[in-house]
Amino acid sequence: MNKTVLITGAAGFLGSHLCDRFLKEGYNVIGMDNFITGDKKNLEHLNSNSKFSFIKHDVTEFIKIDIDLDYILHFASPASPIDYLKIPIQTLKVGSLGTHNLLGLAKAKKARLLIASTSEIYGDPLVHPQTEDYYGNVNTIGPRGVYDEAKRFQESITMAYHRFHGLETRIVRIFNTYGPRMRLNDGRVIPAFMGQALRGEDLTIFGDGSQTRSFCYVDDQVEGIYRLLLSDYAYPVNIGNPHEISIKDFAEEIIKLTGTTQKVIYKDLPVNDPMQRQPDITLAKKILNWEPKVNREEGMKITFNYFKNLSETELYKSEHKDFSNYNSK
């Protein structure tokens, strides 16, 4: 195997797992990241791997790579609501300018480009579960619009390069994915609840907890992405775990798993927080022969063990913040 893949967002949660997977398959992997939400630690174990190299770079700036590339996976982007509410302009830029740069690079290298889209392009969905042919319900000017619209633009420009330039492109619509290497302070519900349990704090439910999510373990997600990249399907494909749960019931599961004696407290629901989310994965099953294998109980145990083994410094540096100020209209 002498193929080379460039992975942007490599120091992040999903990007670092993708680097591992492609190295395991025998590819040469170039990781790229500017560390805005990622962490060098996620790639430390690859330091002595001769098939791995790393370029620190902001993908919204022109990208220069001297060697041939076979595949590009564009995963750079803030991904947690708190991150993209804190850095809205960077979020818009990485989804638009960054994607444009990567499309240009893929065209110059005659490489296949896979972009990381998201269930957020469906917004607060009126169709349930979400199928790929649903156009979505996004508030363009709401606080989450910076992420949702950047990702929607990303899909549009990717399809334009596919149609106009004949570029080989793939679009994965990722639904809530979790696992080791998530940042304990990224504000997403799993690190938030697990961090709170480990620090002996109350678990914060936003709203009344009736909103639902469907959580996919990272290994399943990576398998789906890998299969999609190697498939010949250019249209968007949902990859996620359809097993849906309300946030209230999920908090109960976390309490059981962690053994915390803390209680649940309620805070305001962030503006435009989607009320329901579940992927319809019929398409992925059909064209990729893919479906998730890791159930929530198993995946959550592995994830909790990862957080439990972080140092005290990590645990407290990542003290859960009250981000209700970011929920401004």
Nearest Cα neighbor of 125 from 173, 86, 77 is 173
Q: Which contiguous run of DSSP H or E holds residue 83?
A: helix 81-86
- Total binding residues toward ligand UDP, as defined by CB under 6 A: 15
Q: Of the candidates 33, 124, 148, 223, which one interacts with ligand NAD according to CB under 6 A?
A: 33
The two counts, helices (H) then strands (E), for the chain are: 11, 13
The beta strands (E) that lie in the chain are given as 4-8, 28-33, 52-56, 71-74, 112-118, 169-174, 177-178, 203-206, 212-214, 216-217, 237-239, 244-246, 264-267
x-or-dash pattern for ligand UDP, window 54-93, by CB under 6 A? --------------------------xx------------
In this structure, the chain runs to a length of: 329
> Per CB under 6 A, which of residues 106..125 are in contact with ligand NAD?
116, 118
How many CA within 13 A on the CB side of residue 310?
24
Closest CB to ligand NAD among residues 158, 260: 158
Catalytic residue, chosen from 27, 71, 84, 147, is 147
- Asked if 138 interacts with ligand UDP (CB under 6 A), we say no
Residue 99 binds which one of ligand NAD, ligand UDP, none, with CB within 5 to 8 A depending on kind? none
Q: Of the candidates 6, 7, 12, 277, which one interacts with ligand NAD according to CB under 6 A?
A: 12
> Per CB under 6 A, which of residues 162..191 are in contact with ligand UDP?
176, 187-189
Instruction: Check: CB of residue 32 under 8 Å from CB of residue 58.
Output: no
Closest CB to ligand NAD among residues 120, 260: 120
Q: What is the DSSP letter of 279?
A: B
User: What sign does the dihedral 226-292-280-187 (CA atoms) show?
Assistant: negative
x-or-dash pattern for ligand UDP, window 267-306, by CB under 6 A? ---x--x---------------------------------
Instruction: Check: CB of residue 281 under 8 Å from CB of residue 242.
Output: yes
The stretch near ligand UDP (CB under 6 A) out of 106-114, 132-140, 205-213, 224-232 is 205-213
- Active-site residue set: 147
User: Rule CB under 6 A: which residues touch ligand NAD?
Assistant: 8-9, 11-15, 33-38, 58-60, 75-79, 94, 98, 116, 118, 174, 176-177
